[in-house]
């Protein structure tokens, strides 16, 4: 019996939040509205620019999911910030693919938010 996509998201998110700070929990709660209001790349850049531990961890957790085969974003081959941003900004990525990456980021954040709040 194979796992559903949502079960795979849940398993990944559970692993991400094993030990998280209250700052991480609060940032995870705010992240979906940041993405919806500003866009995926702008939000990822914001997390990177902050350089604080909880920002870096959430950035790593989001990009870590997006490069997994389950996320179906094959154009993203690196979970490193610079590589992922270069790919997302490239002409090779269609608007549909960018939208899919955004939707996947929101989907994984749904699980990360719930589990971080329960564990944090």
Give residue 3's pLDDT.
85
Give residue 11's pLDDT.
96
Give pairs for 26-32: CB < 8 Å, separation 24+: 27/54, 27/55, 27/58, 28/58, 28/109, 28/112, 28/113, 28/116, 28/117, 29/113, 29/117, 31/58, 31/62, 31/109, 31/113, 32/106, 32/109, 32/110, 32/113
CATH, domain range 5-119: 1.10.520.30
| Secondary structure (3-state) at 91 | coil
Give residue 120's pLDDT.
64
Give residue 119's pLDDT.
80
Distances (CA, A) of 77 to 49, 65, 66, 68, 72: 22, 11, 9, 9, 11
70, with CB counted inside 10 A (0-12, 13-18, 19+), is middle
How does pLDDT run along the chain (120 residues), one tens digit per residue? Answer: 788 999 999 999 999 999 899 999 999 999 999 999 999 999 999 999 998 999 999 999 999 999 999 999 999 999 999 999 999 999 899 999 999 999 999 999 999 999 999 986
Cβ atoms of 73 and 100 within 8 Å: the answer is yes
């Amino acid at each position: 019996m194979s796992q559903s996509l949502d079960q795979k998201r849940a398993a990944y998110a559970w692993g991400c939040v094993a030990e998280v700070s209250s700052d991480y929990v609060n940032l995870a709660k705010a992240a979906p509205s940041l993405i919806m209001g500003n866009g995926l790349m702008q939000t990822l850049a914001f997390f990177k620019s902050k350089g604080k531990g909880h920002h870096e961890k959430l950035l790593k957790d989001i990009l870590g999911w997006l490069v997994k085969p389950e996320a179906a974003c094959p154009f993203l081959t690196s979970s490193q910030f610079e590589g992922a941003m270069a790919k997302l900004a490239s002409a090779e990525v269609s608007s549909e693919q960018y939208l899919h990456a955004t939707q996947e980021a929101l989907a994984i954040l749904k699980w990360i938010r719930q589990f971080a709040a329960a564990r944090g």
